[in-house]
Amino acid sequence: MAQMLAARGYADVVLLDILEGFPQGKALDIAESAPWVRFSGTVTGTNDWADTADSDVVVVTSGVPRKPGMTREDLLGTNAKIVRSVVGQAAKASPNAVLVIFANPMDAMCHVALDASGFEPARVVGQGGMLDSSRYRTFIAMETGASVKDVSAWVLGGHTEATMVPIVSNASVGGVPLTQLLPADRLQAVVQRTQRGGAEIVELLKTGSAFVAPAAATIEMVDAILLDEQRILPCCVRLSGEYGIRDAYVGAPVMLGTGGVQTIYDIPLADDELAAMRKAGDAVKELVAATPAG
């Protein structure tokens, strides 16, 4: 993420970690790429939150990594404690920042971050739908043989295998409905592969999880916020009645720009998709209820 953002050339980047020397080394390595990548912003590594003061965006990646056989729910207790501590310090250092939550289980961690920061919900947004939609579009391109540039398809709902909702009803390639391009069995295979996208990477790597696609998805959100691009993107936001869901962080189409979430769109969905969205809302509420208190 830091490397991608630094290469954009419009922002200064600060990496913070509890390990002494680690963020400093990573930052120096990225900074030394500047002569060839051709960016002028600074890249700083630190163990001191004071060095992050007055940040416009804070991307929260903290937490233990997911391992083979481990669900995102398994990460709940440990990562909630970590995220609560990190967000509390980030909010003190940068009280006007937008928080982009990456830590897993992401849906529940958005609730933890909202509580720990005291920010309004518009300034606490999760990236789950961005990554899942990227995978969905990639698999559609692979299956149809069409350019991924022409694929328009979103994953809404939750950021777990059981709760993410790849939207079929409005997916298209170059304006052609996906349902006309793929038979039902192949379409279902794409949906199922999308739902297992993270697990597939973990199983292949055996000693880690995905990082390139998640980074690209997250920095696309940072671009939209810092440059006030007013992009309409699939992000995890606290809903207030949209899709029949209230007070739960669920993936939905939003306009992202200065200040974070500017608009949440309640778009028409097929009946089964709407039911799955509501199931995702119930699931995250259950996770939040099971999250240890601060």
111 is catalytic: no
Find the DSSP H helices in the chain.
Answer: 2-8, 22-31, 34-37, 76-93, 106-117, 128-144, 178-181, 184-195, 197-205, 212-226, 271-290
d(CA 294, CA 289): 13
| Beta bridge mates, 177 | 172
User: Are the CB atoms for 226 and 11 separated by under 8 Å?
Assistant: yes
**Of the residues 159, 171, 225, 256, which is catalytic?**
159
d(CA 275, CA 191): 16
Could you tell me whether strands 164-166 and 155-157 are parallel, antiparallel, or unpaired per DSSP bridges? Answer: antiparallel
User: Are the CB atoms for 137 and 143 separated by under 8 Å?
Assistant: no
Any idea which residues carry the catalytic annotation? 159
